[in-house]
Amino acid sequence: MKPIFSQYLYEIGHKVCVTQPRVAAALSLACRVADERGVQLGDEVGYSAAMTSMRKPETGIVFMTEGVLLREMFASPLLMQYTCIVLDEVHERSQMTDVLMGLLKKIAKKRKNLKIVVSSATMDADFLKEYFNLNDKKTNNKSSSVVMSMQGRTYPIDVFYVAGIIKFI
């Protein structure tokens, strides 16, 4: 997901949590967004990972690992400290990702104002839309979830195998 998206969510009034599958991604995105906004890391924009954190209770955009969000659910089961949760890179699916999606769906049923954004480069968007649809299909045909497509660049990748590389030497 483009870092500008989390900034837009913050600017329209959301307190945003953005999950990343790896610590390095959470830290580098937090640094980049803080730099883009011209703010000190840890104030308006922060991060939280297993052994390190730089944020305040009033921090508006927090980048964190999936494990940290799960840990926050133990202390605050409805995640009242956020109004928007962004699950980024869900195509790198893990058990943690699946657990988070299941728990967030349960939370969303109790917190109608909670916004959940699921970002993926390759996952089946229709599957995710149907999964997060909270409306009863029998009484309401309108989906409570939407799919947004964002264009991005793809970069060509050349794959070389050891046996084939000899002709280049």
CA–CA dist 62, 53 (Å, integer): 10
Q: Tens digits of per-residue pLDDT, 39-55?
A: 999 999 999 998 899 99
Q: Domains (ranges, CATH) in the chain?
A: 3-168 (3.40.50.300)
Q: Is 100 left (phi over 0), alpha (psi -120 to 50) or beta?
A: alpha
Q: What local confidence, expressed as pLDDT, does residue 76 receive?
A: 95
Phi-psi region of 131 (alpha: psi -120 to 50; beta: other; left: phi over 0): alpha
Residues 39 and 29: their CA atoms lie apart, in Å, by: 14
Per-residue confidence at 23, pLDDT binned at 50, 70, 90? very high
Q: What is the pLDDT of residue 147?
A: 67
Given its phi and psi angles, is residue 79 left (phi above 0), alpha (psi -120 to 50 degrees) or beta?
left
The pLDDT of residue 151: 64
Residue written as token pair 């969303």: 108
Q: What is the pLDDT of residues 59-95, one digit of tens each?
A: 999 999 999 999 999 999 999 999 999 999 888 888 9
Q: Which two tokens stand for residue 107?
A: 């939370």
Q: What is the pTM of this model?
A: 0.82
